[in-house]
Amino acid sequence: MHELLIATHNPGKLREYAAIFDGLGLTLRTLDDLGISEDVEETGATFEENARLKAEGYLALSGLPTLADDSGLEVAALNGAPGVYSARYGGVKGAAQLQYLLDQMKDVPWHQRVARFVCVIALARPGQPTQFAQGTLSGVIEAAPRGTGGFGYDPLFYLLDDDKTLAEVPAERKNQISHRAEAARAARVFLEQW
């Protein structure tokens, strides 16, 4: 049995990866399983740098092949912000963060509100170069939040194909189309080669 450390404390993410890596014969471990409480700081300027820092950092701490991801929202009219700062955008959390984003975009007309979620996965193992997989999901920033599903910016992220926000579609739908799912499917190809 090959082990792979999924460098997250988030059980939802672990479940998503477990579903996409099903059938590879991998035993997935989490930081909590291994009793790793140190945090590898996300000090990079790009999703790729942060994913690499975490994958290589937790490989060094655990000795196990490690998957780490970094993701966020890029809004074209804001020159790609909040980007790697998505979690701490505006220095606030939750509904206040959605309002902060709306305030930044109050003069931006509908046709210029395009945005995308980006996820970069880094796969690190001993003695080999770290490999990267990326996924994106395109949408439009709504004028007001709608829906109760998902997390983060989902209530403001309108999907043209679904005519719904990401917080209004079922979780199964989000898990098929999301930036994280697309990156994980690309990462699966590397894991098959390992």
Q: Residues in the site for ligand IMP, rule: CB under 6 A?
A: 70-73, 86-87, 117, 150-154, 178
- CB of 174 vs ligand IMP, minimal distance in Å: 7
- CB of 123 vs ligand IMP, minimal distance in Å: 16
Are 119 and 68 a contacting pair, CB within 8 Å? no
Opening angle at CA 101, ends 99 and 104, nearest 5: 110
Please give the helix or strand (H or E) that residue 162 lies within, else none. none
- CB of 152 vs ligand IMP, minimal distance in Å: 2
What is the C-alpha separation between 64 and 118, in angstroms, rounded?
Answer: 26
Sheet with 66-75, edge to edge strand ranges: 26-30, 2-6, 66-75, 114-124, 131-141, 157-159, 164-165
Residue 58 or residue 117: which is nearer to ligand IMP going by CB? 117
Quick check: is 107 catalytic?
no
Residue 72 or residue 145: which is nearer to ligand IMP going by CB? 72
Which single residue brings its beta carbon nearest to ligand IMP? Answer: 152
- CB of 40 vs ligand IMP, minimal distance in Å: 12
Q: What's the token pair of residue 104? A: 């930044």
Residue 70 or residue 182: which is nearer to ligand IMP going by CB? 70
Catalytic residue among 22, 32, 70, 103: 70
Are 4 and 26 a contacting pair, CB within 8 Å? yes
Q: How many CB atoms lie within 10 A of CB 56?
A: 17
- Burial class from Cβ neighbours inside 10 Å (0-12, 13-18, 19+) for residue 150 reads middle
Residue 2 or residue 92: which is nearer to ligand IMP going by CB? 92
Which residues are catalytically annotated?
70
